[in-house]
Amino acid sequence: MNEIETASELPSKRVFYLATSPKFFPVIATGLQKSGLNNTTQPGWPRLVIEKPFGHDLNTACEYNDRITDIYPEENIYRIDHYLGKAMIQNILTMRFANMFFEPIWNKNYIDNIQIISTERMGIKNRGKYYDRAGALLDMVQSHLLQMLALIAMEPPADMSTASIRQEKIKVLCSLPELGPENVEENVVLGQYSGRKEGQEYIKGYQEEDNVRPDSSTETFAAIKLNIDNLRWQGVPFYLKTGKRLQTKNTKIFVQFKTDFHPSLRGADSPEANLLIIKVQPREGVSLQFNAKEPGSQDKIAPVFMDFCQEAPRELKETPAAYEELLAGLFRGDQSLFTHWQGVKNSWQFIDSLRKSAEKIDLTPEKYEAGSRGPEAAKNLIQSESRIWWDRKNINRHSPV
């Protein structure tokens, strides 16, 4: 590398991309240092990219981080969370802070609950070895779902610089509650898919997948209710849901507003709640459900939708995929698309407390059939509070969701 850079007068811009088991992160970082590969000969930098999950639990994450940051400063470490490269996730801050009408109502006075949902049709493919140790809590919640939550719940940053945005996200992750055994019992549902015959084909249950222990109790589904204890969000439940082998592949954020309508409109026939839906995938865009008078002479109120579809404009057809965005950010040195250690640490604290409490109360995952909508208990988690999980089926049938 030295020879090539010197001969071609290239800057020493070196990226080392670690997509390995987390236990090798510090080993490789040390190896890179020992081999001299970190010592750039020309002006430039060595950057270290780290795939998730970062560690196996809070302790290992802290240990690995200490060892890595002995060698690389934080500004040279790029922790990947590919959801941060998704177009609509990047859009959350723009929508919130480049519009006058969101910020004044973005709080406990107007919002009833927020649902962050990411479901998949796919199973674990050939990743049994990794997945059986990770489960849905590490694979999806600790990273992707909590990053979405941080962007939705954060305070306005001082400016749109990476440092200011990260600072506000970290504050949210820092306000996540520690989940004790009673909290977990009441607010967490875990599930695991079982096999199902589909025509001639048999879809394997999780325990039948390759490289998975036949008696594994690893969760492939998680639904969590949590509260963020700060002035803006006190009393507003955030519901997170994710799972493999469910009915649809879908990532959406639902912001449900309160229904403090005019007194004459309250009652059995009261209008539907306003809903803001941020559609992350497969379609990208935003829908807004609000109430309007139905055409005709009767005074009937019905929900209507405004729909913004991100993929529609022709010129956006070739929008980069999430990983392309991240790689471009990496070469530019834009760390806003990557996670900061403090945020990762806070996410670990939350997930660690949840996992430890789940173990204490022996919370075993409830079985759900592959291709279904997940365990029954997840429905009860939200219905017991007179709310429902939003999805295509229960939103007004004219909805473009």
The residue among 120 and 325 lying less far from ligand BG6, judged by its C-beta, is: 120
The residue among 130 and 257 lying less far from ligand BG6, judged by its C-beta, is: 130
- Which distant-in-sequence residues (6+ apart) come within 8 Å of 379 by Cβ? 373, 389
CB of 71: closest distance to ligand BG6 in angstroms? 26
- Told to judge if 144 belongs to the known catalytic residues of this protein, a careful annotator would answer yes
Residues 130-159 vs ligand BG6: string with x where CB under 6 A? ---------x--------------------
The residue among 106 and 389 lying less far from ligand BG6, judged by its C-beta, is: 389
**Tokens coding 24:** 């090798």
Residues 268-307 vs ligand BG6: string with x where CB under 6 A? ----------------------------------------
What does the angle CA 61 – CA 174 – CA 189 come to, to the nearest 5 degrees? 80
CB of 241: closest distance to ligand BG6 in angstroms? 13
Q: Measure the CA–CA gap between 365 and 358, rounded to whole angstroms.
A: 10
Q: For ligand BG6, which residue of 112, 120, 352, 391 counts as binding (CB under 6 A)?
A: 120
Q: Measure the CA–CA gap between 134 and 140, rounded to whole angstroms.
A: 9
The residue among 77 and 136 lying less far from ligand BG6, judged by its C-beta, is: 136
Q: What is the DSSP letter of 176?
A: P
Please give the helix or strand (H or E) that residue 129 lies within, else none.
Answer: helix 128-136
| Helix-helix angle 58-69:25-35, to 10 degrees | 10
Interaction residues for ligand BG6, span 203-262 (CB under 6 A): 251
Q: Measure the CA–CA gap between 136 and 145, rounded to whole angstroms.
A: 11
325 counts as binding ligand BG6 under rule CB under 6 A = no
Q: Measure the CA–CA gap between 350 and 365, rounded to whole angstroms.
A: 19
Choose the catalytic residue: 144, 262, 340, 398. Answer: 144
Q: Tell me the backbone φ, ψ of residue 295, rounded to 5 degrees.
A: -60, 150
Q: Measure the CA–CA gap between 113 and 381, rounded to whole angstroms.
A: 13
CB of 161: closest distance to ligand BG6 in angstroms? 27
The residue among 249 and 300 lying less far from ligand BG6, judged by its C-beta, is: 249
CB of 138: closest distance to ligand BG6 in angstroms? 9
352 counts as binding ligand BG6 under rule CB under 6 A = no
Q: Measure the CA–CA gap between 239 and 20, rounded to whole angstroms.
A: 31
Classify 387 as helix, strand or coil: coil
The residue among 53 and 237 lying less far from ligand BG6, judged by its C-beta, is: 53
- Residues near ligand BG6 (CB under 6 A): 120, 139, 251
- Residues acting as catalytic residues: 144
